[in-house]
Amino acid sequence: MKLFALADCNNFYASCERVFDPSLRNAPVVVLSNNDGCVIARSAEAKALGVGMGEPAFKREGWFRSQGVRVLSSNYALYGDMSARVMDTLALFAPRLEIYSIDEAFLDLSHLHDPDAARRICREARETVLRWTGIPLSFGIGPSKTLAKVANKIAKQNINHNGIFDISIAQNMQTVLQTFPASDVWGVGRKYARLLERHGVRDAWALSGLPDHWLRKNMTVQGLMTAMELRGVSCLPLEQAPPSRKSIICSRSFGRPVLLRSEMEEAVAAYLSRAAEKLRKEEGVASWLKVFLLTNPHKDEPQYANAYGAPLALATDHTPDLIQAGLAFLDRIWRDGYRYKKAGVMLAGIEPKSGRQLSLLSLPGPKDERNDKLMHCLDRINGRWGRGTLQYAAAGLGRPWRMRQLRKSPRYTSSWDELPVAG
């Protein structure tokens, strides 16, 4: 018999900010997306005030001030580091752990036979994570990952559960699922929710009871698996070592519109440098590249969007080679006279560097070895002294197009210059 627990940090980004700034503890806190665009995290107080997920921040500017809402830019260096601390701690409580997202992990508790033991372990894990990292989290326990997800939401909604809910020992599974909206089920997004609604399916119980052939036909095999998981049949295994990434994207909105080709070239070079860094960290080489750009679709002005992607002559992780190819691709899609809002690059066809396909025309030689050493050195210096300490001139120095992040908290845990000061 399978048994999963889903650990999910409460209001993760807002909680991270609170660990290091006590003045945020009881205040409504919101964290904004890149470019300070929209709300991507809210503390419980902010949710209670009615701040919605994904709301554009500029519409609420005055209201935030009047309500005393504390507004922060996102600080991914901080969240990534805090996430690692939480995951390391959780790993002590289960033989197998799947890190599912920056703030969620599945624990495999299938080895436990005493139903009380699962809850006891989750309670202990919850207290330990809070004590060691300062991050509060909730646990949902169930016989499938989807049911553990359901249980987790219930644990969060109802304060009486003290942050832990085990759906596998619920006296009446039917009643629990009947009070759980189908649209909140993992794997049911906006489109499927509307489709289900049209067929009179509003709760998780009704969803689980749909005929298999209907699910398969209208919601693909994944919809069928979701329903089976709701019936208690575990279809989604715990993935301990997620397969290596298939693509790497780096894209950003600009802090202000970009009109000059020279600035666009800088941005593409900067994004490619970043993407190549990620690629080398994965120990991969990319054999396919895409460059894309677009104007602001929210604005009433001439619109243009285009992309060009193509295989590379040789799979590589070498930043200058990628920049060279990327600028050639940009050349094919650039049009003068538009106010560009965003651009990005995508690396795909990623293979492990050790087993790369070699071209007969360019067997690895001393030049490749030099290139590898150079990249290694670049990554080490940037890892030690901060991203951007060394960069390619093509990526620009002033970067006037850089995204805006006006209210970013310090990198408390990942930069020597920004450590919190006790006093």
Partner DNA sequence: TCTGGGGTCCTAGGACCC
In the complex, which residues of this chain contact DNA (CB under 7 A)?
Answer: 33-35, 37-38, 40, 54, 56, 58, 61, 100-104, 149, 185-193, 220-222, 243, 245-253, 256-257, 278, 296, 298-299, 309, 341-342, 344, 403
Backbone φ and ψ for 29, nearest 5 degrees, come out as: -125, 135
What is the smallest separation between the CB atom of 342 and DNA, expressed in angstroms?
6
Nearer of residues 112 and 409 to DNA, judged by Cβ: 409
Question: In the Cβ-directed half-sphere of 132, how many Cα atoms lie within 13 Å?
Answer: 17
What is the smallest separation between the CB atom of 298 and DNA, expressed in angstroms?
4
Where helices occur in 235-355 by DSSP H, the ranges are 261-281, 319-333
> Is residue 270 packed enough to be buried (19+ CB in 10 Å), middle (13-18) or exposed (0-12)?
buried
What is the smallest separation between the CB atom of 191 and DNA, expressed in angstroms?
4
What is the smallest separation between the CB atom of 339 and DNA, expressed in angstroms?
8
What is the smallest separation between the CB atom of 190 and DNA, expressed in angstroms?
5
What is the smallest separation between the CB atom of 381 and DNA, expressed in angstroms?
22
Task: Using CA atoms of 75, 78, 81, 86 in order, give the dihedral in degrees to the nearest 10.
Answer: -100
What is the smallest separation between the CB atom of 226 and DNA, expressed in angstroms?
9
260, amino acid identity: L
Measured distance CA(168)–CA(118) in Å, rounded = 11
Nearer of residues 170 and 307 to DNA, judged by Cβ: 307
What is the smallest separation between the CB atom of 280 and DNA, expressed in angstroms?
13
Nearer of residues 100 and 304 to DNA, judged by Cβ: 100
What is the smallest separation between the CB atom of 257 and DNA, expressed in angstroms?
6
Return all residues near 291 (Cβ < 8 A) that are at least 6 apart.
268, 307, 308, 309, 326, 329, 330, 333, 343, 344, 345
What is the smallest separation between the CB atom of 42 and DNA, expressed in angstroms?
13
Nearer of residues 104 and 112 to DNA, judged by Cβ: 104
Nearer of residues 105 and 112 to DNA, judged by Cβ: 105
Nearer of residues 192 and 334 to DNA, judged by Cβ: 192
Q: What SS3 state is found at 255?
A: strand
Backbone φ and ψ for 125, nearest 5 degrees, come out as: -65, -40
342, 257 in Cβ contact below 8 A?
A: no
What is the smallest separation between the CB atom of 180 and DNA, expressed in angstroms?
13
> Is residue 308 packed enough to be buried (19+ CB in 10 Å), middle (13-18) or exposed (0-12)?
middle
Nearer of residues 302 and 309 to DNA, judged by Cβ: 309
b/e per residue 392-419 (b: at least 16 CB within 10 A): bebbbeebebbbbeeebbbbbbbeeebe
Nearer of residues 247 and 324 to DNA, judged by Cβ: 247
Nearer of residues 122 and 236 to DNA, judged by Cβ: 236
Structure tokens at 150: 């359901």
Q: What SS3 state is found at 149?
A: helix
Nearer of residues 174 and 247 to DNA, judged by Cβ: 247
For the chain, state the CA radius of gyration: 24
Return all residues near 258 (Cβ < 8 A) that are at least 6 apart.
264, 267, 339, 340, 341, 343, 401
226, 145 in Cβ contact below 8 A?
A: no
Evaluate the CA torsion angle 365, 369, 370, 372 in order and state its sign: positive
Nearer of residues 112 and 228 to DNA, judged by Cβ: 228
| DSSP annotation string for 87-121 | HHHHGGG-SEEEEEETTEEEEE-TT--SHHHHHHH
